[in-house]
Structure 1
Amino acid sequence: MGKRPMPDIATLHTAPAELSKLPSPGLIRRVIRQRQERSALFEADLFADPAWDMLLDLAAAHAEGQRVSVTSLCIASGVPTTTALRWIAQLTAKGLVEKVQDAIDRRRAFVRLTDRSIAAIARYFRNVEPAPAL
């Protein structure tokens, strides 16, 4: 079986709504827990992937209809706050997340996935989902 070509992330935002449907929050949270378990059993820096951990956390929150503060996302990344803030800046610059100021408390900001990243994450989960048993 050949490899699937990598889609251009810039084209994912035009995907139909059914293609942008994220899996259940439970599945996403299970993947997050599996990643945390792996880090508990091996040296955490062997598998450091803070950007993916952030995207997974944001995907689960999106699927649950929850908001994620910058502080919470830094904790979810599993890296020091300064490193997490650099990753958030990179993800923002690449158009994968956006920051939204809290309308009530202007000192606080929330981070959310863009339509492009929702489409990409939805496609990722569809592509790695095991085929149903016959």
Structure 2
Amino acid sequence: MFKIREIVNSLLANSAEQASDTDSAQTHLGDDPAASAKKLYAFRRKRDVAFDSILFGEPGWDILLDLYVATVQDRRISISSACIGAAVPATTALRWVNLLVERGMIERYPDPVDARRSFLRLSHDTLQKMDTLFAGAKIMNENALGSRGLS
């Protein structure tokens, strides 16, 4: 049990270090929704390295995180990029993309320049839910850790 706690603490420390390299050193979990989502995504990739990733597979959530960060940063995400970001085989990621589209959580739209390519974006409803979720994460973080945050 101690070894698992040690690994988790190490992952959290590494994630915080990486986040401080790419984000402002003053940004705490929840201060900026996109930064929080980015840190969470980075933590999940580090967790996949430390443990067998099959234990924690959530490609749908990874796709939503990727699209959320892209939306807040005003970037477009192609379907192939979203599949890579899901960290699962392409066929599995495509099944998740199709499921999220069918459920109205994300939207597929054509590239105006290249008809062979499509982009993905969060639906308005999903974007609002993600905003609410990360605003709640800020409150939970402040209650659990005080004003220190994770970074």
Tell me the TM-score range normalised by the shorter chain: 0.7 to 0.9
Deviations 1:89-118 (A, max 9, x none): 100011000000001100000000001100
Residues 1:92 and 2:101 are matched in the alignment: yes
Q: Do the aligned partners of 1:23 and 1:122 also contact (CA within 8 Å) in 2? A: no
Q: CA shift at 1:52, angstroms?
A: 0.3
Verify: 1:65 aligned to 2:74, yes or no: yes
User: CA-to-partner distance for each residue in 1:36-78, whole Å, 9 max, x for gaps?
Assistant: 0111100001000000000000000001000000000000001
Number of aligned positions between the proteins? 113
TM-score (norm 2): 0.71
In the TM superposition, residue 131 of structure 1 has moved relative to its aligned partner by: 2.5
CA RMSD across the alignment: 1.6
Contact map agreement 2:77 2:121 (CA 8 A) in 1? yes
1:120 CA displacement: 1.0
**How many Å apart are 1:25 and its aligned residue?**
2.4
Higher helix proportion: 2
Per the TM alignment, residue 126 of structure 1 is displaced from its structure 2 partner at its CA by 1.8
Q: CA deviation at 1:125?
A: 1.1
Q: Which 4+ stretches in 1 moved above 4 angstroms?
A: none
Could you tell me the percent identity over the aligned residues?
33
List runs of 5+ in structure 1 lacking aligned partners.
1-21
